[in-house]
Chains A and B, each alone.
Chain A
Amino acid sequence: MTSTTEPYAEFAERLATTTLLRFATAGSVDDGKSTLVGRLLHDSKSVLTDQLEAVERVSLSRGQDTPDLALLTDGLRAEREQGITIDVAYRYFATPRRRFILADTPGHVQYTRNMVTGASTAELAVVLVDARNGVVEQTRRHAAVAALLRVPHVVLAVNKMDLVGYAEPVFTAIAEEFTAYAASLGVPEITAIPISALAGDNVVEPSAHMDWYDGLTVLEHLETVPASHDLAHCPARFPVQYVIRPQSASHPDYRGYAGQISSGVLRVGEAVTVLPSGRTSVIEGIDALGESVDIAWAPQSVTLRLADDVDVSRGDLIAPSGQLPPSTQDVEATVCHVADRPLTVGQRVLLKHTTRTVKAIVKDIPSRLTLDDLSQHPAPGQLVANDIGRVRIRTAEPLALDPYAESRRTGSFLLIDPADGTTLSAGMAGDAFAEGAGAAAVPADEEGWDF
């Protein structure tokens, strides 16, 4: 929010250079997640007067003396009636430096699919723990989901520091235990911050109670962490969405391939290959929403023109000829099952990968993962709602599928029920956790997680 006194020109200039960060929160209600979200929104002045008044009005009518900030985030009748959050909700707030999209996901174990949904688009996940309880099963679950979905940045918010006397050793012990665990799963960057969401310590304002902590507050970290850092440095991938052919008097020969660059950088003059046909050409032009450019990068939506008249249609993938993704009809992946009906061996499904949807069959479900301890259970036969498991899928046509570890866009897919279109599972191609993960931190009595 800006002050009314700021000159408009400066304001506009600053807005034009702000970036967007998508992040997700994880943590059960008891850990103070609603309070943290409420405080981020409130202290960044993103809750407006009429919204607060509505919360106060309802709280009063229920006989509560203080406004229940959870009412800000629980939008549906059923949620208000039951006093729980049942579904992902998206919140929006801004500071002078950045715009934020917060995927507010319920923390209960039965809602794993919601955290997976929120984490799928997140560049950062905030995992909350109660300083009095330390790292618990639920914390491990959240870390595992963040690692599985390859969320690049994880923040451990050690909450309720006011209830442990703001003691540094309590924080340090929790931070070290969590960091070792999350690092073993392959989480690339972990930042631990001691906070009190209720008292406001280190959320937006630095704490006056923890002189020993010299790091950033939660909001400062959210404002400065690199956003979408992983996209431009990967091999370029361009799933074709739609072919633009005006066939008009002014554009009789225009033929452009519209799509959103899912990773990497594309340049005019670059040699490219169209998959699955394997035909090659050269990028003749890039139209970036009305402007002709020499270079474009993820996640820009552009239109490519190729030098040769090759056959390209929706569902094809254009990539630099020297950096092609592997092509396969046998998909090995980890899936999170999101539907109420189960996924079974032998089931016929549709697989949606980038802009391509193909027929597929579930050949095998070799194992199911228990997130609590990352143990694997062989041959479960089926996956039910909120289960995470390994699958082997045979597709009717080859897919240009990157490992999810290398691209969250071209390594991910949906399984869909062909009968009624229900989204069944969220899939991630390749190994579940990062390479080399697991070995160091698996306790001896567990079977390991490279399932």
Chain B
Amino acid sequence: MTTTVASVTEGTDAPYALSHLDALESEAVHIFREVAGEFERPVILFSGGKDSIVMLHLALKAFAPAPVPFTLLHVDTGHNFPEVLDYRDRTVARHGLRLHVASVQEYIDAGKLRERPDGTRNPLQTVPLTERIQAERFDAVFGGGRRDEEKARAKERVFSLRDEFSQWDPRRQRPELWNLYNGRHAAGEHVRVFPLSNWTELDVWQYIAREGIELPEIYFAHEREVFARAGMWLTAGDWGGPKEHEHVETRLVRYRTVGDMSCTGAVDSDATTLDAVIAEIAASRLTERGATRADDKMSEAAMEDRKREGYF
């Protein structure tokens, strides 16, 4: 039973419709330009992972033919994949960008952070990140977080105000209406900005394929020495694995996410091309984080708790 009361123009999906990728791209570009127009010292968090790579690509398109009016910031856990660091440095050089690096290892060496018994450095990123934000007086910090990743992130705003301690209070968020983003903040506060909020993992991959964006090779299937821990394939290395009872084997794997080697697992895969990766993700019955992130399994609210402290 349909009642059309006034005239609704039918069939207007063509020719004035955008594909969903164009709509998401247009929205993300709008967000980048809003930040450029309203903030003094924005920075893009850049890890060399696919989400931050897509962010940088969007920023390049948003301001072309002018250069990206932002610097980059990488929080180096000290346990990053060498291929990813190499990709990071090549990208920075190619686009003439400026990169800040905040180092977890330096904090540990200086006694300001202590290694966790489980060897995971992901939660340790928060302190170097937030201290660097304060030291550089960044007022807008772009992150590649997506709301489809995790249920605490489903509650995240596109513009997310953080206090002078970089804390997130999910109960005191500004309502976000239409595409009117409110970036007002006091001195010392900053705004986390998530241009990919409305993208899903599959959107990111489709966009990478459509735009022909280069990625670090660990996203594609390759033979690698790994060992099993907590139901995941971890890369053997100086960071702390394998332990005596853990057995190293060579497997054909790839990564769905790129993070700290101590908590980012590989998945068995023979997908060596973008097309194959997209087909594999579309058929997967596991979320990206469920498949490959140990730190999200620590408690039911692990992500929410870390985000409250200043994590992305």
Q: Which residues of A contact B (CB under 8 A)?
A: 1-4, 6, 8, 11-12, 15-20, 48-51, 54, 58, 72-78, 80, 86-92, 94, 98-99, 101, 113-114, 116-117, 120-121, 152-153, 172, 175, 179, 183, 186-193, 215, 226-233, 241-242, 244-246, 248, 250-251, 254, 258-260, 265, 287, 289-290, 297-301, 314, 338, 350, 352, 354-355, 408-409, 412-414, 416, 420-423, 426, 434
**Whole-angstrom distance from the CB of A94 to the nearest CB of chain B?**
7
Binds A, one of B46-54, B73-81, B112-120, B196-204: B196-204
**Quick one: which of B266-284 are within 8 Å of A by CB?**
275-276, 278-279, 282-284
Given A19-B18, A187-B5, A75 contacting B175 (CB threshold 8 A): no
Instruction: Chain A residues near B294: list those with CB within 8 A.
Output: none
What CA separation (Å) do A290 and B62 show in the bound complex? 9
Query: Residues of A contacting B25 with CB < 8 Å?
Result: 289, 301
Enumerate chain A residues within 8 angstroms of B176, measured Cβ to Cβ: 117
B182 within 8 A of A: yes
Looking at the assembled complex, report how far the CB atom of A292 sits from the nearest CB atom of chain B, in whole angstroms: 11
Q: Which of B82-90, B212-220, B285-293 contacts A (4 or more CB under 8 A)?
A: B285-293
Please tell me if the beta carbons of B20 and A416 are within 8 angstroms of each other in the complex: no
Residue of A nearest to B1 (CB): A192
Closest residue of A by beta carbon distance from B275: A8
- B1-58: which residues lie under 8 A (CB-CB) from chain A? 1-13, 16-27, 29-30, 33-34, 36-37
Question: Which residues of the other chain, A, contact B110 by a CB distance below 8 angstroms?
Answer: none
- For A233, give the chain B residue with the smallest CB separation: B9
Contacts A4-B283, A189-B4, A251-B65 given; does A409 touch B16 at CB 8 Å: no
B98 at the A/B interface (Cβ < 8 Å)?
A: no
Chain B contact-residue range equals 35 or more
Report if A301-B33 is in contact (Cβ < 8 Å); known contacts: A51-B290, A233-B12, A421-B185: yes
| Bound Cα distance from A89 to B152, whole angstroms | 9
A48 touches B5 (CB 8 A): no
7 more A-B residue pairs beyond the given contacts A50-B291, A80-B300, with a C-beta to C-beta distance below 8 A = A75-B152, A88-B155, A153-B8, A290-B61, A301-B25, A355-B34, A426-B177
Known: A90-B198, A229-B9, A265-B16. A242 touches B182 (CB 8 A): no
CB < 8 Å neighbour of B8 from A17, A192, A226: A226
CB < 8 Å: which of B65, B147, B179 contacts A121?
B179
For B27, what are the chain A residues with a Cβ–Cβ distance below 8 Å?
A: 260, 299, 301
Beta-carbon contact of A19 and B200 below 8 Å: no
Say yes or no: A241 contacts B275, CB within 8 Å. no
Would you call A12 and B12 a contact (CB within 8 A)?
no
A153, chain B: closest CB distance, angstroms: 8
Query: How far, in Å, is A313 (CB) from chain B's closest CB?
Result: 10
Known: A258-B33, A413-B180. A289 touches B61 (CB 8 A): yes
Q: Is the pair B34, A299 in contact by a Cβ cutoff of 8 Å?
A: no
Q: Are A175 and B1 in contact (CB under 8 A)?
A: yes
B174 contacts the other chain (Cβ, under 8 Å)? yes
The 7 closest A-B pairs by CB, nearest first: A421-B184, A50-B290, A75-B151, A232-B16, A246-B66, A20-B20, A301-B29
